Amino acid sequence: MSPEMLRVGNCSGFYGDRLTAMREMLEGGRLDVLTGDYLAELTMLILARDRAKDPDAGYARTFLAQLRDCLRLALDRGVRIVSNAGGVNPGGLVAAVRALGLDPRIALVRGDDLTPRAGDLGLGAPLGAHAYLGAFGIARALRAGADVVITGRVTDASLVVGPAIAHFGWDREDFDKLAGATVAGHVIECGAQATGGNYAFFTELDDPLRPGFPIAELRPDGSSVITKHPGTGGAVTVGTVTAQLVYEVAGARYPGPDVTTRLDTVTLRPAGPDRVEISGVRGEPPPPDVKVSCTSVGGYRNELTVVLTGLDVEAKAALFRRQFDAARGAEPAEVQWGLARLDTPDAPTQQQASALLTVVARDPDEKVAGRAFSNAAVELALSSYPGFFSTTPPERARPYGVFTAGYVPQAVPAHEVVHDDGTAERIDPPPVTRPLAEPRADPPPPVAPGPTRRLPLGTLAGARSGDKGGDANVGLWVRDDAAYPWLAALITEDTVRTLLPEAAALPVRITRLPAVRAVNVVIEGLLGRGVAYHARFDPQAKALGEWLRSRHVDIPTALLEAP
Protein backbone atom coordinates (compact mmCIF):
# COMPACT_ATOMS: atom_id res chain seq x y z
CA MET A 1 0.00 0.00 0.00
CA SER A 2 1.62 3.23 -1.18
CA PRO A 3 1.78 6.19 1.24
CA GLU A 4 1.17 8.49 -1.74
CA MET A 5 -1.90 6.75 -3.14
CA LEU A 6 -4.80 4.66 -1.86
CA ARG A 7 -6.63 2.56 -4.45
CA VAL A 8 -10.29 2.07 -3.47
CA GLY A 9 -12.69 0.06 -5.61
CA ASN A 10 -16.45 -0.41 -5.47
CA CYS A 11 -18.37 -3.62 -6.15
CA SER A 12 -21.97 -2.65 -5.45
CA GLY A 13 -24.18 0.37 -6.05
CA PHE A 14 -27.40 -1.05 -4.59
CA TYR A 15 -28.90 -4.15 -2.98
CA GLY A 16 -29.23 -6.44 -6.01
CA ASP A 17 -26.25 -5.23 -8.03
CA ARG A 18 -24.08 -7.64 -10.03
CA LEU A 19 -23.34 -10.60 -7.75
CA THR A 20 -20.03 -11.43 -9.46
CA ALA A 21 -18.66 -7.89 -9.12
CA MET A 22 -16.74 -8.59 -5.90
CA ARG A 23 -14.75 -11.37 -7.52
CA GLU A 24 -14.28 -9.32 -10.70
CA MET A 25 -12.82 -6.46 -8.69
CA LEU A 26 -10.56 -8.67 -6.56
CA GLU A 27 -9.19 -10.60 -9.54
CA GLY A 28 -9.06 -7.71 -12.02
CA GLY A 29 -6.07 -5.81 -10.62
CA ARG A 30 -4.53 -4.18 -7.57
CA LEU A 31 -6.75 -2.76 -4.83
CA ASP A 32 -6.12 -1.63 -1.29
CA VAL A 33 -9.76 -1.38 -0.21
CA LEU A 34 -12.98 -2.71 -1.74
CA THR A 35 -16.25 -1.00 -0.82
CA GLY A 36 -19.85 -1.97 -1.38
CA ASP A 37 -22.89 0.28 -1.11
CA TYR A 38 -26.12 -1.66 -0.57
CA LEU A 39 -28.43 0.91 1.00
CA ALA A 40 -31.00 3.33 -0.36
CA GLU A 41 -34.16 4.88 1.03
CA LEU A 42 -36.32 2.04 -0.29
CA THR A 43 -33.79 -0.57 0.85
CA MET A 44 -33.94 0.70 4.43
CA LEU A 45 -37.71 0.17 4.41
CA ILE A 46 -37.36 -3.32 2.93
CA LEU A 47 -34.74 -4.30 5.50
CA ALA A 48 -36.75 -2.82 8.38
CA ARG A 49 -39.77 -4.87 7.35
CA ASP A 50 -37.57 -7.96 7.01
CA ARG A 51 -36.28 -7.54 10.55
CA ALA A 52 -39.78 -6.89 11.92
CA LYS A 53 -40.68 -10.40 10.68
CA ASP A 54 -37.36 -12.02 11.65
CA PRO A 55 -35.03 -10.46 14.26
CA ASP A 56 -32.05 -12.20 12.64
CA ALA A 57 -32.71 -10.52 9.26
CA GLY A 58 -32.28 -6.90 8.22
CA TYR A 59 -28.97 -6.97 6.34
CA ALA A 60 -27.99 -7.41 2.68
CA ARG A 61 -27.84 -11.16 2.18
CA THR A 62 -26.19 -10.78 -1.22
CA PHE A 63 -23.13 -9.28 0.48
CA LEU A 64 -22.87 -12.35 2.68
CA ALA A 65 -23.09 -14.56 -0.43
CA GLN A 66 -20.30 -12.52 -2.04
CA LEU A 67 -18.10 -12.92 1.05
CA ARG A 68 -18.78 -16.62 1.15
CA ASP A 69 -17.31 -16.76 -2.36
CA CYS A 70 -14.58 -14.11 -2.05
CA LEU A 71 -13.49 -13.44 1.53
CA ARG A 72 -10.58 -15.90 1.36
CA LEU A 73 -9.41 -14.23 -1.85
CA ALA A 74 -9.60 -10.77 -0.29
CA LEU A 75 -7.64 -11.86 2.78
CA ASP A 76 -4.98 -13.54 0.66
CA ARG A 77 -4.56 -10.38 -1.44
CA GLY A 78 -4.56 -8.02 1.52
CA VAL A 79 -7.65 -6.16 0.31
CA ARG A 80 -9.74 -4.71 3.12
CA ILE A 81 -13.51 -4.64 2.72
CA VAL A 82 -15.76 -1.79 3.88
CA SER A 83 -19.51 -2.02 3.43
CA ASN A 84 -22.82 -0.64 4.71
CA ALA A 85 -24.45 -4.00 4.01
CA GLY A 86 -25.29 -4.26 7.72
CA GLY A 87 -28.45 -2.29 6.96
CA VAL A 88 -30.69 -2.24 10.02
CA ASN A 89 -28.94 -5.22 11.64
CA PRO A 90 -25.17 -4.77 11.26
CA GLY A 91 -24.51 -6.86 14.38
CA GLY A 92 -26.39 -9.75 12.80
CA LEU A 93 -24.27 -9.49 9.66
CA VAL A 94 -21.06 -9.48 11.72
CA ALA A 95 -22.17 -12.72 13.38
CA ALA A 96 -23.02 -14.24 9.98
CA VAL A 97 -19.60 -13.31 8.57
CA ARG A 98 -17.86 -14.82 11.59
CA ALA A 99 -19.81 -18.01 10.97
CA LEU A 100 -18.07 -18.33 7.59
CA GLY A 101 -15.10 -19.60 9.61
CA LEU A 102 -12.23 -17.72 7.93
CA ASP A 103 -11.34 -15.74 11.07
CA PRO A 104 -11.03 -12.23 9.60
CA ARG A 105 -10.66 -9.27 11.94
CA ILE A 106 -14.11 -7.69 11.80
CA ALA A 107 -15.14 -4.30 13.10
CA LEU A 108 -18.70 -3.06 13.55
CA VAL A 109 -19.70 0.58 13.19
CA ARG A 110 -22.93 1.30 15.02
CA GLY A 111 -24.99 4.07 16.56
CA ASP A 112 -27.06 5.04 13.54
CA ASP A 113 -30.22 3.30 14.81
CA LEU A 114 -32.33 5.91 16.58
CA THR A 115 -35.59 3.96 16.29
CA PRO A 116 -36.05 3.34 20.05
CA ARG A 117 -35.54 7.06 20.72
CA ALA A 118 -37.48 8.39 17.72
CA GLY A 119 -40.44 9.73 19.71
CA ASP A 120 -38.24 11.54 22.23
CA LEU A 121 -36.22 13.05 19.36
CA GLY A 122 -39.30 14.44 17.63
CA LEU A 123 -39.11 11.93 14.78
CA GLY A 124 -42.54 10.42 15.35
CA ALA A 125 -43.04 6.66 15.46
CA PRO A 126 -41.40 5.31 12.29
CA LEU A 127 -40.71 1.70 11.52
CA GLY A 128 -37.05 2.69 11.37
CA ALA A 129 -35.06 5.86 12.10
CA HIS A 130 -31.39 5.74 11.10
CA ALA A 131 -28.92 8.61 11.22
CA TYR A 132 -26.40 9.05 8.42
CA LEU A 133 -23.08 8.57 10.24
CA GLY A 134 -19.77 9.87 8.97
CA ALA A 135 -16.42 8.31 8.10
CA PHE A 136 -14.34 8.60 11.27
CA GLY A 137 -15.71 5.39 12.78
CA ILE A 138 -14.70 3.48 9.66
CA ALA A 139 -11.27 5.13 9.84
CA ARG A 140 -10.74 4.07 13.46
CA ALA A 141 -11.73 0.50 12.61
CA LEU A 142 -9.18 0.33 9.81
CA ARG A 143 -6.44 1.97 11.85
CA ALA A 144 -7.00 -0.70 14.48
CA GLY A 145 -6.38 -3.42 11.88
CA ALA A 146 -9.83 -4.56 10.72
CA ASP A 147 -9.93 -6.70 7.58
CA VAL A 148 -13.68 -6.18 7.21
CA VAL A 149 -15.67 -3.16 8.38
CA ILE A 150 -19.44 -3.55 8.51
CA THR A 151 -21.67 -0.55 9.12
CA GLY A 152 -25.30 0.32 9.36
CA ARG A 153 -26.46 3.61 7.87
CA VAL A 154 -23.47 5.78 7.01
CA THR A 155 -23.34 8.25 4.14
CA ASP A 156 -22.51 6.50 0.87
CA ALA A 157 -19.33 8.52 0.41
CA SER A 158 -18.11 7.61 3.93
CA LEU A 159 -17.22 4.16 2.63
CA VAL A 160 -14.40 5.85 0.66
CA VAL A 161 -13.66 8.80 2.96
CA GLY A 162 -13.07 6.51 5.96
CA PRO A 163 -10.25 4.51 4.32
CA ALA A 164 -8.67 7.77 3.12
CA ILE A 165 -8.71 9.24 6.65
CA ALA A 166 -7.12 6.07 8.02
CA HIS A 167 -4.46 5.87 5.31
CA PHE A 168 -3.41 9.52 5.14
CA GLY A 169 -3.96 10.49 8.77
CA TRP A 170 -6.37 13.36 8.09
CA ASP A 171 -8.03 15.05 11.03
CA ARG A 172 -11.44 16.62 11.59
CA GLU A 173 -10.52 20.01 10.18
CA ASP A 174 -8.85 18.87 6.95
CA PHE A 175 -11.99 20.03 5.18
CA ASP A 176 -10.57 20.34 1.66
CA LYS A 177 -9.11 16.84 1.81
CA LEU A 178 -12.30 15.38 3.27
CA ALA A 179 -14.31 17.15 0.57
CA GLY A 180 -12.07 15.81 -2.20
CA ALA A 181 -12.50 12.26 -0.92
CA THR A 182 -16.25 12.84 -0.59
CA VAL A 183 -16.47 13.69 -4.28
CA ALA A 184 -14.48 10.57 -5.16
CA GLY A 185 -16.77 8.51 -2.93
CA HIS A 186 -19.88 10.05 -4.44
CA VAL A 187 -18.63 9.27 -7.95
CA ILE A 188 -17.91 5.59 -7.33
CA GLU A 189 -20.71 4.83 -4.83
CA CYS A 190 -23.20 3.81 -7.54
CA GLY A 191 -20.91 1.32 -9.20
CA ALA A 192 -21.06 1.14 -12.97
CA GLN A 193 -22.93 4.44 -13.26
CA ALA A 194 -19.45 6.01 -13.22
CA THR A 195 -18.13 3.76 -15.98
CA GLY A 196 -20.78 4.10 -18.65
CA GLY A 197 -23.85 2.57 -17.02
CA ASN A 198 -27.07 4.57 -17.47
CA TYR A 199 -25.05 7.10 -19.48
CA ALA A 200 -26.84 9.61 -21.70
CA PHE A 201 -24.36 9.23 -24.58
CA PHE A 202 -24.12 5.43 -24.31
CA THR A 203 -24.15 5.01 -28.11
CA GLU A 204 -20.69 6.58 -28.23
CA LEU A 205 -19.11 3.96 -25.92
CA ASP A 206 -17.00 1.25 -27.51
CA ASP A 207 -18.05 -1.52 -25.14
CA PRO A 208 -21.19 -0.79 -23.08
CA LEU A 209 -22.21 -4.45 -22.77
CA ARG A 210 -20.82 -5.09 -19.27
CA PRO A 211 -19.24 -1.99 -17.70
CA GLY A 212 -16.46 -2.58 -15.21
CA PHE A 213 -16.82 -1.22 -11.69
CA PRO A 214 -15.03 2.01 -10.72
CA ILE A 215 -11.87 2.68 -8.75
CA ALA A 216 -10.76 5.87 -7.01
CA GLU A 217 -7.03 6.46 -6.65
CA LEU A 218 -6.89 8.87 -3.72
CA ARG A 219 -3.95 11.15 -2.95
CA PRO A 220 -2.83 12.77 0.32
CA ASP A 221 -4.17 16.21 -0.71
CA GLY A 222 -7.69 14.85 -1.33
CA SER A 223 -7.44 14.83 -5.11
CA SER A 224 -8.10 11.59 -6.95
CA VAL A 225 -8.24 9.79 -10.26
CA ILE A 226 -11.29 7.76 -11.22
CA THR A 227 -10.51 4.68 -13.29
CA LYS A 228 -11.37 0.99 -13.70
CA HIS A 229 -9.51 -2.27 -14.13
CA PRO A 230 -7.85 -2.77 -17.54
CA GLY A 231 -9.83 -4.82 -20.02
CA THR A 232 -13.21 -4.25 -18.41
CA GLY A 233 -16.16 -2.83 -20.35
CA GLY A 234 -17.62 0.64 -20.34
CA ALA A 235 -15.49 3.76 -20.10
CA VAL A 236 -14.26 6.37 -17.65
CA THR A 237 -14.49 9.81 -19.25
CA VAL A 238 -15.13 13.35 -18.06
CA GLY A 239 -18.70 12.76 -19.25
CA THR A 240 -19.31 9.55 -17.29
CA VAL A 241 -17.81 11.09 -14.16
CA THR A 242 -19.82 14.29 -14.58
CA ALA A 243 -23.00 12.24 -14.96
CA GLN A 244 -22.41 10.62 -11.58
CA LEU A 245 -21.18 13.82 -9.95
CA VAL A 246 -24.52 15.56 -10.56
CA TYR A 247 -26.59 12.52 -9.55
CA GLU A 248 -28.97 12.96 -6.61
CA VAL A 249 -27.50 16.20 -5.31
CA ALA A 250 -29.48 19.21 -4.14
CA GLY A 251 -27.20 22.18 -4.75
CA ALA A 252 -23.69 23.57 -4.81
CA ARG A 253 -23.15 22.72 -1.16
CA TYR A 254 -23.27 18.97 -0.54
CA PRO A 255 -23.72 18.48 3.23
CA GLY A 256 -22.38 15.49 5.13
CA PRO A 257 -21.68 14.60 8.75
CA ASP A 258 -17.92 15.29 8.39
CA VAL A 259 -17.71 18.07 5.79
CA THR A 260 -19.81 20.26 3.55
CA THR A 261 -18.44 19.76 0.04
CA ARG A 262 -18.48 22.61 -2.44
CA LEU A 263 -19.53 20.98 -5.70
CA ASP A 264 -19.01 24.32 -7.45
CA THR A 265 -15.25 23.98 -6.90
CA VAL A 266 -14.77 20.58 -8.57
CA THR A 267 -12.37 20.40 -11.50
CA LEU A 268 -12.40 17.39 -13.83
CA ARG A 269 -9.81 16.69 -16.50
CA PRO A 270 -8.75 13.68 -18.58
CA ALA A 271 -5.66 11.96 -17.17
CA GLY A 272 -5.20 9.19 -19.74
CA PRO A 273 -7.33 6.39 -21.20
CA ASP A 274 -10.13 5.56 -18.76
CA ARG A 275 -8.69 7.99 -16.23
CA VAL A 276 -10.27 11.24 -14.98
CA GLU A 277 -8.67 13.47 -12.36
CA ILE A 278 -10.75 15.22 -9.68
CA SER A 279 -9.04 18.19 -8.06
CA GLY A 280 -9.57 21.62 -6.55
CA VAL A 281 -12.42 20.58 -4.28
CA ARG A 282 -13.05 22.89 -1.35
CA GLY A 283 -14.64 21.87 1.91
CA GLU A 284 -16.34 23.67 4.77
CA PRO A 285 -17.35 22.62 8.30
CA PRO A 286 -20.30 20.21 8.35
CA PRO A 287 -23.78 21.26 9.44
CA PRO A 288 -24.62 21.08 13.17
CA ASP A 289 -27.33 18.46 12.48
CA VAL A 290 -27.20 15.07 10.80
CA LYS A 291 -29.88 13.67 8.52
CA VAL A 292 -32.04 10.79 9.71
CA SER A 293 -33.73 8.33 7.36
CA CYS A 294 -37.23 7.69 8.73
CA THR A 295 -39.24 4.90 7.12
CA SER A 296 -42.85 4.06 7.92
CA VAL A 297 -45.70 1.98 6.57
CA GLY A 298 -48.16 4.50 5.17
CA GLY A 299 -51.10 2.16 4.55
CA TYR A 300 -52.19 -0.22 1.80
CA ARG A 301 -51.93 0.22 -1.94
CA ASN A 302 -53.48 -1.45 -4.97
CA GLU A 303 -53.12 -0.83 -8.69
CA LEU A 304 -54.82 -1.89 -11.90
CA THR A 305 -53.91 -1.11 -15.52
CA VAL A 306 -56.47 -1.73 -18.25
CA VAL A 307 -55.82 -1.60 -21.99
CA LEU A 308 -57.84 0.63 -24.33
CA THR A 309 -57.45 -0.40 -27.95
CA GLY A 310 -58.31 1.28 -31.21
CA LEU A 311 -61.02 3.92 -31.53
CA ASP A 312 -62.69 6.18 -28.93
CA VAL A 313 -59.90 5.87 -26.35
CA GLU A 314 -60.97 8.92 -24.33
CA ALA A 315 -64.62 7.78 -24.24
CA LYS A 316 -63.60 4.25 -23.22
CA ALA A 317 -61.47 5.66 -20.40
CA ALA A 318 -64.31 7.89 -19.20
CA LEU A 319 -66.77 4.97 -19.20
CA PHE A 320 -64.46 2.70 -17.21
CA ARG A 321 -63.76 5.43 -14.64
CA ARG A 322 -67.49 6.02 -14.08
CA GLN A 323 -68.22 2.30 -13.82
CA PHE A 324 -65.27 1.57 -11.55
CA ASP A 325 -66.10 4.42 -9.17
CA ALA A 326 -69.72 3.25 -8.95
CA ALA A 327 -68.83 -0.45 -8.43
CA ARG A 328 -66.09 0.08 -5.86
CA GLY A 329 -68.32 0.80 -2.87
CA ALA A 330 -66.02 2.10 -0.14
CA GLU A 331 -64.05 5.13 -1.29
CA PRO A 332 -60.28 4.81 -0.70
CA ALA A 333 -58.50 7.67 0.98
CA GLU A 334 -56.57 8.34 -2.24
CA VAL A 335 -57.40 7.44 -5.83
CA GLN A 336 -55.07 8.37 -8.68
CA TRP A 337 -55.83 7.90 -12.39
CA GLY A 338 -53.45 8.12 -15.32
CA LEU A 339 -54.04 7.68 -19.05
CA ALA A 340 -50.99 6.97 -21.20
CA ARG A 341 -51.80 7.63 -24.85
CA LEU A 342 -49.31 5.22 -26.40
CA ASP A 343 -51.64 4.43 -29.29
CA THR A 344 -51.08 5.53 -32.89
CA PRO A 345 -53.69 5.88 -35.68
CA ASP A 346 -53.96 3.05 -38.21
CA ALA A 347 -51.45 1.04 -36.16
CA PRO A 348 -49.71 -1.94 -37.81
CA THR A 349 -49.79 -3.97 -34.55
CA GLN A 350 -52.40 -4.29 -31.80
CA GLN A 351 -49.90 -3.12 -29.19
CA GLN A 352 -49.27 0.08 -31.14
CA ALA A 353 -53.03 0.67 -31.24
CA SER A 354 -53.35 0.50 -27.45
CA ALA A 355 -53.40 3.04 -24.61
CA LEU A 356 -53.03 2.28 -20.90
CA LEU A 357 -55.37 3.48 -18.17
CA THR A 358 -54.02 3.02 -14.64
CA VAL A 359 -55.81 3.49 -11.33
CA VAL A 360 -54.00 3.45 -7.99
CA ALA A 361 -55.78 3.31 -4.64
CA ARG A 362 -54.32 3.91 -1.19
CA ASP A 363 -56.08 3.53 2.14
CA PRO A 364 -55.24 2.76 5.79
CA ASP A 365 -57.72 -0.16 5.61
CA GLU A 366 -56.43 -3.20 3.74
CA LYS A 367 -59.97 -4.26 2.77
CA VAL A 368 -60.80 -0.91 1.17
CA ALA A 369 -57.66 -0.91 -0.96
CA GLY A 370 -57.82 -4.64 -1.48
CA ARG A 371 -60.99 -6.68 -1.82
CA ALA A 372 -63.35 -3.81 -2.67
CA PHE A 373 -60.93 -2.51 -5.30
CA SER A 374 -60.24 -5.90 -6.91
CA ASN A 375 -63.86 -7.06 -6.86
CA ALA A 376 -64.95 -3.91 -8.71
CA ALA A 377 -62.41 -4.58 -11.43
CA VAL A 378 -63.45 -8.23 -11.83
CA GLU A 379 -67.16 -7.41 -11.98
CA LEU A 380 -66.61 -5.05 -14.91
CA ALA A 381 -64.87 -7.63 -17.11
CA LEU A 382 -67.93 -8.28 -19.29
CA SER A 383 -69.85 -5.02 -18.87
CA SER A 384 -67.48 -2.21 -19.74
CA TYR A 385 -65.94 -0.82 -22.92
CA PRO A 386 -65.30 -2.99 -26.03
CA GLY A 387 -62.02 -4.88 -25.98
CA PHE A 388 -61.67 -4.76 -22.18
CA PHE A 389 -58.68 -6.52 -20.64
CA SER A 390 -56.03 -5.70 -18.03
CA THR A 391 -52.27 -6.13 -18.06
CA THR A 392 -52.40 -8.26 -14.89
CA PRO A 393 -55.23 -9.78 -12.86
CA PRO A 394 -56.50 -7.70 -9.91
CA GLU A 395 -54.47 -8.47 -6.80
CA ARG A 396 -54.65 -8.06 -3.06
CA ALA A 397 -53.56 -4.79 -1.50
CA ARG A 398 -50.01 -4.50 -0.29
CA PRO A 399 -48.53 -2.21 2.35
CA TYR A 400 -46.62 0.78 1.03
CA GLY A 401 -43.82 2.70 2.64
CA VAL A 402 -43.17 6.36 3.24
CA PHE A 403 -39.75 7.98 3.56
CA THR A 404 -39.23 11.21 5.46
CA ALA A 405 -36.02 12.98 6.37
CA GLY A 406 -35.46 14.06 9.97
CA TYR A 407 -32.57 15.92 11.57
CA VAL A 408 -30.92 15.64 14.96
CA PRO A 409 -27.83 17.33 16.47
CA GLN A 410 -24.50 15.75 15.58
CA ALA A 411 -23.99 14.56 19.18
CA VAL A 412 -27.25 12.58 19.34
CA PRO A 413 -26.17 9.35 17.59
CA ALA A 414 -23.92 7.22 19.79
CA HIS A 415 -21.37 6.67 17.01
CA GLU A 416 -19.21 3.72 18.07
CA VAL A 417 -16.77 1.20 16.68
CA VAL A 418 -16.80 -2.30 18.11
CA HIS A 419 -13.38 -3.73 17.35
CA ASP A 420 -12.61 -7.37 16.64
CA ASP A 421 -11.75 -8.05 20.30
CA GLY A 422 -15.13 -6.73 21.43
CA THR A 423 -13.97 -3.40 22.81
CA ALA A 424 -16.12 -0.40 21.93
CA GLU A 425 -14.68 3.00 21.03
CA ARG A 426 -16.81 6.15 20.97
CA ILE A 427 -16.42 8.49 17.99
CA ASP A 428 -16.88 12.09 19.03
CA PRO A 429 -18.97 14.46 16.90
CA PRO A 430 -17.12 17.11 14.86
CA PRO A 431 -15.82 19.96 17.05
CA VAL A 432 -16.54 22.61 14.41
CA THR A 433 -19.83 22.92 12.53
CA ARG A 434 -21.48 25.60 10.42
CA PRO A 435 -25.14 26.03 9.41
CA LEU A 436 -25.70 25.21 5.77
CA ALA A 437 -26.27 28.13 3.41
CA GLU A 438 -26.32 27.99 -0.36
CA PRO A 439 -23.83 30.21 -2.22
CA ARG A 440 -25.18 33.34 -3.87
CA ALA A 441 -26.80 32.39 -7.16
CA ASP A 442 -25.15 34.14 -10.10
CA PRO A 443 -27.34 35.17 -13.04
CA PRO A 444 -27.00 33.00 -16.15
CA PRO A 445 -24.32 34.14 -18.59
CA PRO A 446 -25.45 36.16 -21.61
CA VAL A 447 -25.94 34.32 -24.89
CA ALA A 448 -25.26 36.08 -28.17
CA PRO A 449 -28.32 36.24 -30.44
CA GLY A 450 -28.23 34.28 -33.66
CA PRO A 451 -30.05 31.67 -35.72
CA THR A 452 -31.34 28.56 -33.94
CA ARG A 453 -32.84 25.18 -34.75
CA ARG A 454 -35.64 23.42 -32.88
CA LEU A 455 -34.15 20.11 -31.71
CA PRO A 456 -34.17 17.80 -28.67
CA LEU A 457 -32.30 19.20 -25.67
CA GLY A 458 -30.33 15.95 -25.63
CA THR A 459 -28.73 16.84 -28.96
CA LEU A 460 -26.13 18.66 -26.87
CA ALA A 461 -26.97 18.01 -23.20
CA GLY A 462 -26.54 14.90 -21.13
CA ALA A 463 -28.65 14.18 -18.05
CA ARG A 464 -28.76 11.93 -15.00
CA SER A 465 -31.77 11.93 -12.70
CA GLY A 466 -32.97 10.30 -9.51
CA ASP A 467 -34.84 10.65 -6.24
CA LYS A 468 -34.16 12.29 -2.88
CA GLY A 469 -37.18 11.41 -0.79
CA GLY A 470 -40.16 13.03 -2.45
CA ASP A 471 -38.00 15.37 -4.55
CA ALA A 472 -36.58 14.65 -8.00
CA ASN A 473 -33.13 15.72 -9.11
CA VAL A 474 -31.98 16.19 -12.70
CA GLY A 475 -28.36 17.03 -13.42
CA LEU A 476 -27.74 18.40 -16.92
CA TRP A 477 -24.36 19.00 -18.50
CA VAL A 478 -22.71 19.75 -21.82
CA ARG A 479 -19.32 18.59 -23.03
CA ASP A 480 -18.11 21.79 -24.68
CA ASP A 481 -17.25 25.12 -23.05
CA ALA A 482 -18.99 27.00 -25.85
CA ALA A 483 -22.30 25.29 -25.12
CA TYR A 484 -22.39 25.99 -21.41
CA PRO A 485 -23.63 29.62 -21.56
CA TRP A 486 -26.54 28.43 -23.71
CA LEU A 487 -27.44 25.62 -21.26
CA ALA A 488 -27.07 27.84 -18.21
CA ALA A 489 -29.31 30.50 -19.74
CA LEU A 490 -31.85 28.00 -21.04
CA ILE A 491 -32.49 26.07 -17.82
CA THR A 492 -34.59 28.30 -15.60
CA GLU A 493 -37.51 27.54 -13.31
CA ASP A 494 -39.96 28.60 -16.01
CA THR A 495 -38.25 26.50 -18.68
CA VAL A 496 -38.32 23.40 -16.48
CA ARG A 497 -42.01 23.88 -15.76
CA THR A 498 -42.72 24.30 -19.47
CA LEU A 499 -40.70 21.29 -20.59
CA LEU A 500 -41.91 19.08 -17.72
CA PRO A 501 -45.60 19.89 -17.22
CA GLU A 502 -45.73 17.68 -14.10
CA ALA A 503 -43.61 20.34 -12.40
CA ALA A 504 -45.91 23.23 -13.33
CA ALA A 505 -47.27 23.75 -9.81
CA LEU A 506 -44.20 22.63 -7.87
CA PRO A 507 -41.20 24.49 -6.43
CA VAL A 508 -38.15 24.22 -8.69
CA ARG A 509 -34.57 24.99 -7.61
CA ILE A 510 -31.76 25.64 -10.08
CA THR A 511 -28.04 25.48 -9.28
CA ARG A 512 -25.41 26.30 -11.90
CA LEU A 513 -22.05 24.52 -11.71
CA PRO A 514 -19.93 26.19 -14.39
CA ALA A 515 -16.71 24.43 -13.38
CA VAL A 516 -18.15 21.15 -14.69
CA ARG A 517 -20.47 22.76 -17.31
CA ALA A 518 -23.54 21.53 -15.44
CA VAL A 519 -26.89 22.76 -14.19
CA ASN A 520 -28.65 20.98 -11.35
CA VAL A 521 -32.44 20.96 -11.11
CA VAL A 522 -34.45 19.91 -8.05
CA ILE A 523 -38.23 19.56 -8.39
CA GLU A 524 -39.70 19.47 -4.90
CA GLY A 525 -42.55 17.03 -4.26
CA LEU A 526 -42.63 15.47 -7.72
CA LEU A 527 -42.38 11.97 -6.20
CA GLY A 528 -45.02 12.50 -3.52
CA ARG A 529 -43.93 10.76 -0.33
CA GLY A 530 -41.03 8.81 -1.81
CA VAL A 531 -40.28 5.79 -3.96
CA ALA A 532 -42.19 3.22 -1.91
CA TYR A 533 -45.29 5.39 -2.18
CA HIS A 534 -45.32 4.93 -5.98
CA ALA A 535 -46.67 8.39 -6.74
CA ARG A 536 -45.90 8.34 -10.47
CA PHE A 537 -45.12 6.13 -13.47
CA ASP A 538 -41.36 6.41 -12.81
CA PRO A 539 -41.37 6.49 -8.98
CA GLN A 540 -37.63 7.12 -8.58
CA ALA A 541 -37.37 9.64 -11.44
CA LYS A 542 -34.65 7.52 -13.04
CA ALA A 543 -35.80 8.40 -16.55
CA LEU A 544 -36.89 11.97 -15.84
CA GLY A 545 -33.64 13.28 -17.30
CA GLU A 546 -34.14 11.30 -20.49
CA TRP A 547 -37.65 12.72 -20.84
CA LEU A 548 -36.21 16.21 -20.41
CA ARG A 549 -33.52 15.50 -23.01
CA SER A 550 -36.20 14.46 -25.50
CA ARG A 551 -38.05 17.79 -25.27
CA HIS A 552 -37.43 20.21 -28.12
CA VAL A 553 -35.70 23.55 -27.49
CA ASP A 554 -34.03 26.24 -29.58
CA ILE A 555 -30.33 25.42 -30.05
CA PRO A 556 -27.97 27.98 -31.61
CA THR A 557 -26.89 26.86 -35.03
CA ALA A 558 -23.31 27.84 -34.23
CA LEU A 559 -23.18 25.15 -31.52
CA LEU A 560 -24.46 22.52 -33.90
CA GLU A 561 -21.79 23.41 -36.44
CA ALA A 562 -18.93 23.41 -33.91
CA PRO A 563 -16.26 20.76 -34.59
Residues of the domain holding 248: 6-288+410-426
Is there a domain that residue 443 lies in? no
391 and 341 housed in the same domain = yes
198 and 91 housed in the same domain = yes
385 and 480 housed in the same domain = no
Q: Report the SS3 class of residue 61.
A: helix
**pLDDT tens column, 236-260:** 999 999 999 999 998 899 999 999 9
Task: For the chain, give the longest Cα–Cα distance.
Answer: 75
- Top pLDDT among 7 and 298 is at 7
147 and 274 housed in the same domain = yes
**pLDDT tens column, 420-477:** 999 999 999 999 999 998 777 777 777 778 899 999 999 999 999 999 888 999 999 9
Burial 101-112 (b: 16+ CB within 10 A, else e): eeebbbbbbbbb
In whole numbers, what is the pLDDT of the chain averaged over residues?
94
Q: Are 397 and 370 in contact (CB under 8 A)?
A: yes
335 and 481 housed in the same domain = no
**pLDDT tens column, 266-289:** 999 999 999 999 999 999 999 999
Distance, in Å, from the CA atom of 294 to the CA atom of 84, rounded to the nearest integer, reads: 17
DSSP annotation string for 221-270:
TS-EEEEE-TT-BS---HHHHHHHHTTT--SSEEE-SS-EEEGGG-EEEE
- Top pLDDT among 533 and 321 is at 321
383 and 416 housed in the same domain = no
325 and 341 housed in the same domain = yes
Mean pLDDT of 370-392: 92
Q: The domain spanning residue 388 has which CATH number? A: 3.30.70.380
**pTM recorded for the entire structure:** 0.94
Is there a domain that residue 446 lies in? no
417 and 390 housed in the same domain = no
| DSSP element (H, E) containing 363 | strand 354-363
| DSSP element (H, E) containing 473 | strand 471-477
For 288, counting Cβ atoms within 10 Å of its Cβ (0-12 exposed, 13-18 middle, 19+ buried), the class is middle
Distance, in Å, from the CA atom of 158 to the CA atom of 142, rounded to the nearest integer, reads: 13
In the predicted model, is pLDDT for residue 491 greater than 90?
A: yes
Distance, in Å, from the CA atom of 249 to the CA atom of 126, rounded to the nearest integer, reads: 25
414 and 398 housed in the same domain = no
- What pLDDT does residue 469 have? 83
52's CB contacts (< 8 A; 6+ apart) are 127
235 and 147 housed in the same domain = yes
Distance, in Å, from the CA atom of 35 to the CA atom of 83, rounded to the nearest integer, reads: 5
